[in-house]
Structure 1
Amino acid sequence: MITTRFAPSPTGNLHLGNLRSCFLNWIYAKKNNGKFILRYDDTDQERSKEEFVLSIASDLKWLNIDYDETFFQSKRVDRYNQIFDQLISKKIVYPCFESNEDLEIKKKLQLKAGKPPIYDREALNLTKEEIETQILSGKRPYWRFKLSQNKIQWNDLVKGKTEVDLSSQSDPVLRRADGSYLYHFPSVVDDIDMEITHIIRGEDHLSNSAVHVEIFQSLDAKVPSFGHNPLMLNEDGTKLSKRNVDSISIKKFKEAGYSTESILSYLYSVGLNADYSFKEISQNNYVDFDLSKISKNLPKLDLSKIDHFQKLALRALSLNELLNEFKNLIDFEIKENEWNLIKNNVEKFSDILEFLEIIRRNRIEISPSDDFVNLLLENINKFDGLEFEEYTNLLGQLDSNLSKKDIFMNTRYLLTGNNNGPSVKNLFEYYGINQIKNYLNDFKTL
């Protein structure tokens, strides 16, 4: 069975950047009737927060991104220790004792000499006695994984044929001196234990994937298939950073009244150079989804495109669908004919309440001209049973000085007292001539 996963660190809120990899893994599993796993990379206990665990789960639920199992790396440390002992026994990892200061000095000397700052494997030459002496002196080793320094190749699900030269990388540290693990090792052990078959993530993980290939092989495990999607950039082409991701957090979109369909449609369309309705894609069981079709270019964040999808999504909702998604609208007791009147003018969530207030005549700001009101009052019985076009034509005949613009504008002011809202024709059909008579009587008594 195809099994994918999303492994966020609960150190912040979900945002469009990291959600994209989650989305692609989820869709891939859906298309192939596979399994999708949510795995919290929470081994960094200082930065990992329960509030972010809860917010990530809440955001995924809001987006209707479902998962089959949930794991926490912090609860699997005993398992990591057990497997790490295998690497020690195989002599694939080796203890190191250099301090950060020692490593920084080496790095500066290498750069000064025009050499790449790659760890020189000095600790690999330590004898058993030298290691014991260091430990007896009170020093605790951290452990590095010995890379082959070969070129690692694979057929990437997104990028195609891919190669990473490990000779240009330092042997990665897998376990710190305090016994805690860095990213690489728990990730691979989890992928093995959870039988992950496909890993889709940002292309900033390319070098990590090459390292992981060798860790998989060192543990005699099958290497999953990899796919690396281009990273999302800011609108100005700069990289997303921790300083600006809060503005594109899923929490912010929820609070602003965006629909799940608008976010999912945007995520699906990114890198495909076309607009897709996620609802239609899902109803078609994702048959057209193909990772290899994703553009290799770095996509720029396009908030206007999200707004475009938001407009389309809102207008496509029935009243029941609207109230089901935006439960805070239930108290406004929106009627079916009210929603049908305003929905095709709505572009964003705030428009709903604004237009609702307008058609309920709670935002009367402008009055029709006295001459227009008097003209209608003098000929009121002539308008019975007329369609909108017949109504406007008759007014033009009764007063040749009235332009179409005058008729439309004054009719709007008579019905809603506001410049905004649905078309005058739709307003006329919604209220009907009897309501127009009632509103005219209001002016008659003034």
Structure 2
Amino acid sequence: MTVAVRFAPSPTGHLHIGNIRTAIVNWLFAARHGGSFMFRLDDTDEERSTQAFADAIAEDLTWLGLTWDRYARESDRYARYADAAEALRTAGRLYPCYETPDELGLKRKAMLAQHRPPIYDRAALRLTDTDRARLEAEGRRPHWRFKLNHSDIVWDDLVQGHKHFRGADLSDPVLIREDGRPLYTLTSVVDDLDFAITHIVRGEDHVTNTAVQVQLFEALIGIMGQGIVPTFAHLPLIAGSEGEGLSKRLGSLSVRSLRQDEGVEPLALIAYLARLGTSDAITAAGSMAELAEGFDFGKFGRGTPKFDSDELMRLNTQVLHNAAFADVADRLTAMGMVGVEEAFWLAVRPNLTRLSDAKEWWAVTKQAVTPMVDDAAFLATAAGLLPAAPWDDTTWGVWTKAVSAATGAKGKALFLPLRRALTAHDHGPELKTLLPLIGRERALARLSGCTA
């Protein structure tokens, strides 16, 4: 069996880290087993779904390198869902209900008051044709529920282990709204069957949905005469640093904000979320292939993992420090560092937390800097001892040795005034690599207290 997975977000907001973690886990699992990854938009919520959000989701996936093999959107498949619904009606598994939301709310409150589970009482099944005609004459339009059988529902979850539900404890789910539009429970199952999805990987908040959908899978498979019930894996949900839940509607830790505002590298975010909540140490990875090779559902724990932005940025730093010039050259150029060379990258790379930090050091090497002058006489002596060009990574050592001999300054008293004058910073990249990039003309001007 060839593994086939899907990521099926709703385009009703920007993806947060919980959403994208699901996509990452699906992608890595498929890559580990040579399978396919499908990007499918659950966009039947027409009031809240927008093309802008759909485009943003695709952009986030592309930025992360989560390429997809197949693509579909549910809004293009209404005819298929209507066919499936009609087949369920014919089989006696889909029935019309006429209660209003207020009436259902009252029933729910009454059951809870009696300490009974608030499941639908199937009152609609007791309606006669005359009853239904009368209700429709009053202007009521039915919503349609799937009739569960009351047998046990079991499956072996790849993360949570053996799962067991009693069908009698579950409420018949609504599959079709009053306006005729299908709901997620139906569209998802129909799509998973039609696209031959073998594994459904999602958050543990879907466990009860899965119990219902297992029976819907079985019903449609029986009607269609083909297909299989997928294997399930339900991941613990990620919480914020204070244990709070994440919400796409609230924009909690959105992928877009991490990318645009925090400067997080794609591979850092993928490595972090792929290993969060597992027995693996959270360390930087060299590639997606490396992460896929070590992927195993058996490594996931059952506890709630908490997102730690400090740990993510630590990982981000590791990724940048390991990045080759070829991996970042185009991005550096796009930031305005025209003509950037590998020597610059190798000089500043060890001091970066975000790639955008490189702009600061580009300015130090290529643009005007106002030097920090602590001791003008000391700097004048140092300026007089500057070696002739050309400079290389030995120039700093030769020069500081001569300055020390002339002034008696050593250690911090020697190096800090020179750094402050040359870079206008108290710390930064090693000056043996940065000094040749600054160049003799700029260095001489800055040691003289001039903006250069």
What TM-score comes out, normalization by structure 1 length?
A: 0.90
Q: Deviations over 1:183-242 (max 9, x none)?
A: 101111111111111000000000001111000111124100000011010110011134
Q: Which runs of 5+ in 2 are unaligned?
A: none
Question: Are 2:31 and 1:25 aligned?
Answer: no
Question: Are 2:320 and 1:314 aligned?
Answer: yes
CA distance change for structure 1 residues 222 and 393 in 2, over 3 Å: closer, same or farther? same
CA distance change for structure 1 residues 438 and 392 in 2, over 3 Å: closer, same or farther? closer
Counterpart of 1:249 in structure 2: which amino acid? Answer: S
Question: Are 2:373 and 1:367 aligned?
Answer: yes
Counterpart of 2:282 in structure 1: which amino acid? Answer: D
Is the 8 Å Cα contact of residues 159 and 292 (structure 1) preserved in structure 2? no
Counterpart of 1:423 in structure 2: which amino acid? Answer: E
Is the 8 Å Cα contact of residues 268 and 276 (structure 1) preserved in structure 2? no
Question: Are 2:107 and 1:106 aligned?
Answer: yes
Query: Which moved further from structure 2: 182-191 or 152-161?
Result: 152-161
Query: Which moved further from structure 2: 416-425 or 262-271?
Result: 416-425
What TM-score comes out, normalization by structure 2 length?
A: 0.89
Find the residue that maps to 2:292 and give its secondary structure: coil
Per the TM alignment, residue 300 of structure 1 is displaced from its structure 2 partner at its CA by: 0.8
Q: Deviations over 1:81-126 (max 9, x none)?
A: 1111111111112211111221122122222222222211111222
Q: Deviations over 1:272-324 (max 9, x none)?
A: 251243434x3447221101211211111111122112212222223332133
Find the residue that maps to 2:349 and give its secondary structure: helix
Find the residue that maps to 1:39 and give its secondary structure: strand
Query: Which residue, 242, 260, 265 being the options, matches 2:271?
Result: 265
Q: Report the equivalent of 1:415.
A: 422
Report 1:287-326 matches (<5 A).
287-325=293-331
CA distance change for structure 1 residues 102 and 411 in 2, over 3 Å: closer, same or farther? same
Find the residue that maps to 1:279 and give its secondary structure: coil
Q: Report the equivalent of 2:155.
A: 154
Find the residue that maps to 1:248 and give its secondary structure: coil
Per the TM alignment, residue 388 of structure 1 is displaced from its structure 2 partner at its CA by: 4.7
Is the 8 Å Cα contact of residues 246 and 252 (structure 2) preserved in structure 1? no
Find the residue that maps to 1:94 and give its secondary structure: strand
Is the 8 Å Cα contact of residues 361 and 416 (structure 1) preserved in structure 2? no
Query: Which moved further from structure 2: 328-337 or 390-399?
Result: 390-399
Query: Which moved further from structure 2: 346-355 or 75-84?
Result: 346-355
Per the TM alignment, residue 179 of structure 1 is displaced from its structure 2 partner at its CA by: 0.9
Is the 8 Å Cα contact of residues 414 and 439 (structure 1) preserved in structure 2? no
Q: Which runs of 5+ in 1 are unaligned?
A: none
Counterpart of 2:273 in structure 1: which amino acid? Answer: L
Q: Report the equivalent of 1:341.
A: 347
Q: Report the equivalent of 1:139.
A: 140
Per the TM alignment, residue 378 of structure 1 is displaced from its structure 2 partner at its CA by: 6.4
Q: Deviations over 1:234-282 (max 9, x none)?
A: 11001113464x25222212323332122212222211251243434x3
CA distance change for structure 1 residues 169 and 42 in 2, over 3 Å: closer, same or farther? same
CA distance change for structure 1 residues 419 and 327 in 2, over 3 Å: closer, same or farther? same
Q: Deviations over 1:131-185 (max 9, x none)?
A: 3443355432211111223332111111222223333321111111211111101
Q: Report the equivalent of 1:351.
A: 357
Q: Deviations over 1:41-75 (max 9, x none)?
A: 11111111111111111111111111111111111
Question: Are 2:410 and 1:406 aligned?
Answer: no
Q: Distance in 1 between matches of 2:385 and 2:44?
A: 79
Query: Which residue, 244, 252, 255 being the options, matches 1:250?
Result: 255
Find the residue that maps to 1:342 and give its secondary structure: helix
Is the 8 Å Cα contact of residues 174 and 182 (structure 1) preserved in structure 2? yes
Is the 8 Å Cα contact of residues 408 and 424 (structure 1) preserved in structure 2? no
Q: Distance in 2 between matches of 1:382 and 1:186?
A: 74
Q: Deviations over 1:364-389 (max 9, x none)?
A: 24025123134436666799997655
Find the residue that maps to 2:234 and give its secondary structure: strand
Cα RMSD between the aligned structures?
2.7
Find the residue that maps to 2:317 and give its secondary structure: helix
Q: Distance in 2 between matches of 1:73 and 1:271?
A: 32
Per the TM alignment, residue 3 of structure 1 is displaced from its structure 2 partner at its CA by: 0.8
Is the 8 Å Cα contact of residues 26 and 37 (structure 2) preserved in structure 1? yes
Identity in percent: 33
CA distance change for structure 1 residues 99 and 423 in 2, over 3 Å: closer, same or farther? same
Q: Distance in 2 between matches of 1:326 and 1:439?
A: 27
Report 1:81-96 matches (<5 A).
81-96=82-97
Q: Distance in 2 between matches of 1:381 and 1:323?
A: 31
CA distance change for structure 1 residues 373 and 47 in 2, over 3 Å: closer, same or farther? closer
Is the 8 Å Cα contact of residues 32 and 293 (structure 2) preserved in structure 1? yes
Is the 8 Å Cα contact of residues 358 and 364 (structure 1) preserved in structure 2? no
Q: Report the equivalent of 1:286.
A: 292
Counterpart of 1:405 in structure 2: which amino acid? Answer: K
Query: Which moved further from structure 2: 357-366 or 373-382?
Result: 373-382
Q: Distance in 1 between matches of 2:300 and 2:58?
A: 27
Is the 8 Å Cα contact of residues 382 and 447 (structure 2) preserved in structure 1? no
Is the 8 Å Cα contact of residues 96 and 144 (structure 1) preserved in structure 2? yes
Query: Which moved further from structure 2: 22-31 or 411-420?
Result: 411-420
Counterpart of 1:250 in structure 2: which amino acid? Answer: V
CA distance change for structure 1 residues 307 and 364 in 2, over 3 Å: closer, same or farther? same
